[in-house]
Amino acid sequence: MPTVHVNLGPRSYDIEIASGNLREAAKLCDAEADDAQTVIITDSHVAEHYVDPVVEALEGLGCDVSVLEVDPGEPSKAPEVATELWEEMLDHGADRKTVVLALGGGVVGDLAGFVAATFSRGLRFVQVPTTLLAQVDSSVGGKVGVNLSAGKNMVGAFWQPRGVLIDVATLNTLPDREFRAGLAEVVKYGVIQDAEFFAYLENNVAKVNARDAEVLTYIVQRCCRLKADVVEQDEREETGVRAILNYGHTFCHAFEAGTGYETLLHGEGVAIGMMCAARLAERMGRVDAAFVERQRKLLTAFELPLDVPDVDRDELVELMYRDKKVERGKLRFVLPTQMGHVELVRGVANEDVLAAMEA
C-alpha cells in the first residue's frame, strides 16, 4: 500500500493510501487501542455509506466502538457541537485511553481532531478522510479546530493524528462539485511545489475527471507527500515555510467571507484566488502571461469556476485586511516566480490587489 511517512519526531505518523482499503482503518485504530474504546465521529451523510464497514472491522478485531454523528456541513464546526461531543463521549465512557477516529470530510476531521486534542487533555486520533479536499489537505498536518461566529478556524490546536487512512474509493460517492473543488488544492501543490506534478495533471485530465482509482491514488499520495514536506519544516506555522500552502487563500478567504460562506465551496474560492494571485504575480513582473494561461487552462479542464464573485471590490480588499494572516496591518501574498515555486511577498499595494481581481 502506498505510504507517506510524516516525520515529526515523536509525533511522526504514516498516511496509507489505496482504493478499497477502508476496513484497514480498524487495524490502524486497533494498533493504537490496546483494548481501549474507539469513538468514531462522522456526519450523517458519510455514515450512510461508510460507517458500517468500519464499525464491523473494528468489532471484528474485538474493539469496543461508539459512533457519534453530527449534521453534515460547516455549521457543525462550532464550539457548541464540540461541547455536545465532549459530553456524549463522557456518557459513552470515554477515558484517556480512548482512540478517536474521524470519518468524513474536512469539517468532521477538524472537529473530531479538536475534540480529541482536548478531551481528557488529549486523546489518540486517527483520520479517515472521505473527501478529496480532506485527503489532500485538511487531514494532513495536524491543524484541528472549530469556527467562531466571527472567524473561521479561530479556535483549535496543533494535534497530529497517530495515523491517516485514505481510501480513494470513497470519492466515488462524492458529489461532482465537491470533487472538483478538491482538485483546486491538487493543482495548488503543483504550482507551489512541483512543476512535474503540474505537468502530470495536465497529461491526465481525462482520467482525473473519470476518477480513475490508480490516478487518484497517485495524486493523493503526491499531494500528501508535498504537504508533509512543508509541515515537517514548520509544524506549528512559526517559521513562515507553511505559509506557502496559502497560495490563493488571501483572495479566497475574502471571497468566502464576502459571499457569506454560502455561494462558494472552499476549493472553488481557492481556484479563483489562485487566478488572482497569478495575475498579481504577472502584474508585479514575477511570472509571464503564459504562466497565468497555463494555470487557467488546467483549472478550466477541471471545470472550476474562475470568475471573482460579484462583491464590491473595495469590500473584498477590506476583508483581506481582517484575515488572520495579515501581519502588522500589511497584506502579504504567496506569489509564484515559476511553475513549482512560490515566495511570500509583503507590502503589496491595494491598487495591484484590485487590478488582479479583474480578469
Single out the segment in contact with a second copy by CB under 8 A; choices: 104-112, 151-159, 179-187, 200-208: 151-159
Active site residue 121: yes
Active site residue 45: no
The Cα-based distances of 46 to 102, 107, 130, 271 in angstroms read 11, 12, 8, 25
Give me 63's grid cell: 474493539
Measured CA to CA, the distance from residue 239 to residue 17 in angstroms comes to: 29
Rounded to a whole number of angstroms, the minimum distance from the CB of residue 241 to a second copy is: 16
Position 82 contacts a second copy (CB under 8 A): yes
Measured CA to CA, the distance from residue 6 to residue 225 in angstroms comes to: 8
CB 135 within 8 A of CB 127: no
Rounded to a whole number of angstroms, the minimum distance from the CB of residue 122 to a second copy is: 7
Rounded to a whole number of angstroms, the minimum distance from the CB of residue 326 to a second copy is: 8
Single out the segment in contact with a second copy by CB under 8 A; choices: 76-84, 209-217, 299-307, 309-317: 76-84
Catalytic residue selected from 88, 232, 237, 318? 237
Position 60 contacts a second copy (CB under 8 A): no
Catalytic residue selected from 188, 266, 294, 296? 266
Which of the residues 119 through 138 are near a second copy (CB under 8 A)?
119-122
CB 39 within 8 A of CB 59: no
Please name every residue paired with 148 in a beta bridge, in sequence order, or none if there are none. 151
Measured CA to CA, the distance from residue 319 to residue 338 in angstroms comes to: 28
Active site residue 249: yes
Position 330 contacts a second copy (CB under 8 A): no
Single out the segment in contact with a second copy by CB under 8 A; choices: 16-24, 51-59, 86-94, 104-112: 86-94
Single out the segment in contact with a second copy by CB under 8 A; choices: 13-21, 116-124, 267-275, 334-342: 116-124
Residue (145 or 248) nearer to a second copy, CB: 145
CB proximity list for 109: less than 8 A, separation 6 or greater: 102, 127, 129, 134, 138, 139, 144
Q: Rounded to an integer, what is the distance from CA 49 to the centroid of its chain?
A: 21
Measuring CA to CA, which residue among 173, 157, 162, 166 is closest to residue 134? 166
Rounded to a whole number of angstroms, the minimum distance from the CB of residue 138 to a second copy is: 14
Number of residues that bind a second copy (CB under 8 A): 31
Rounded to a whole number of angstroms, the minimum distance from the CB of residue 230 to a second copy is: 16
